Amino acid sequence: MEANGLDPRRALGQNFLLDLNLTGRIARQAMPLEGETVVEVGPGPGGLTRALLAHGAGHVIAIEKDPRCLPALQAVAQHYPGRLTVVEGDALDIDPASLCEGPYKIVANLPYNIGTQLLLNWITVEPWPPRWSSLTLMFQREVALRIVAEADDDHYGRLGVLCGWRTNAAILFDVSREAFTPPPKVTSSIVQLEPKASPLPARLLDLERVTQAAFGQRRKMLRQSLKPVGGEALLRTVGIDPQRRAETLSVAEFVDLANALGR
């Protein structure tokens, strides 16, 4: 960081992770890595990148938006000849599947300001199942709780429904703010998601419409919040009490609503 003048920038959501014990622990959560292709987003100066390569990743493709980080990453590439490819660009505009052939894993300390949108991009790809075999990602703990939340949980919302529909998701461990440079204001968590080979059948667009309407007015009864997509008539079609609220519905019930909407 000193050699390349890498002061972390808040505008880029940068909180660099330099603790070798921690980066190694994250890499081990994504194992086996031998011979695997791993896509990393926002590597910064390459702390996690080094750990992935040291733990045997066959090929790491690192997507980095900040050109100041490129010399540091190229130094890592020279130490691991042929095993690290650095792609300069915005991860929001790049489909990881376009960067490699065959299956891959995504492992990343995601920039906080785009982490949720990146996750949504990856879990809503078509066709399903995706080419990625696992996602091992760092989020603010508040976001992590939303990813794994189930019905009747205060953190349950559209993100939890979509993740619960298509993946098996779990929080692996928390990361103290002191592990970062600079320390963020919040605790972080490592979340791992694995794709379900056969999610409950539904059209993604219809499920997105139903969940957006339901959680857009989450404190209201479903008969009111779902008015834009059919209201009580839609609820009667699948036998759901119109007086219930969005946070009480299971993923399967949202899928039923989506399928009724699509008919």
Put residue 46 in one of left, alpha, beta given phi > 0 → left and psi -120 to 50 → alpha. left
Measured CA to CA, the distance from residue 107 to residue 43 in angstroms comes to 10
- Given a contact cutoff of 8 angstroms between Cβ atoms, the answer to whether 151 and 245 are in contact is no
Dihedral over Cα of 36, 46, 120, 65: its sign: negative
66 and 114 Cβ atoms separated by less than 8 Å: no
Tell the burial category of 5 from Cβ atoms under 10 Å away from its Cβ (0-12, 13-18, 19+): exposed
Q: Would you state the pLDDT for residue 18?
A: 79
pLDDT at 179: 85
What is the Cα–Cα distance from 137 to 163, expressed in whole angstroms? 14
According to the model, what pLDDT value does residue 17 have? 82
CA distance linking residue 27 with residue 17, whole number of Å: 13
- The answer to whether the beta carbons of residues 108 and 115 sit under 8 Å apart is no
| pLDDT value of position 25 | 97
Nearest residue to 46 via CA among 28, 23, 12: 23
Q: What is the pLDDT of residue 180?
A: 82
| Structure-token pair, residue 45 | 């100066």
pLDDT at 263: 81
Write down the pTM of the prediction: 0.93
Calpha distance 141→203 (Å, rounded): 30
pLDDT of residue 111: 86
Residue 7 neighbours by CB under 8 Å, 6+ apart: 1
- According to the model, what pLDDT value does residue 262 have? 81
Length of the chain counted residue by residue: 263
CA distance 213 to 47: 41
In the prediction, which pLDDT does 242 show? 97
Q: What is the pLDDT of residue 218?
A: 87
Locus of tokens 């940068």? 14
Q: Can you tell me the distance from the alpha carbon of 84 to that of 214, in angstroms, rounded to the nearest whole number?
A: 44
Alpha-helical (H) ranges within 153-203 are 158-166
Q: Is the preceding peptide bond at 8 cis, omega within 30 degrees of 0?
A: no
10-residue mean pLDDT profile of the chain (263 residues): values are: 64 73 96 97 93 98 93 95 97 97 96 93 96 97 97 97 98 91 86 98 97 94 96 96 97 98 85
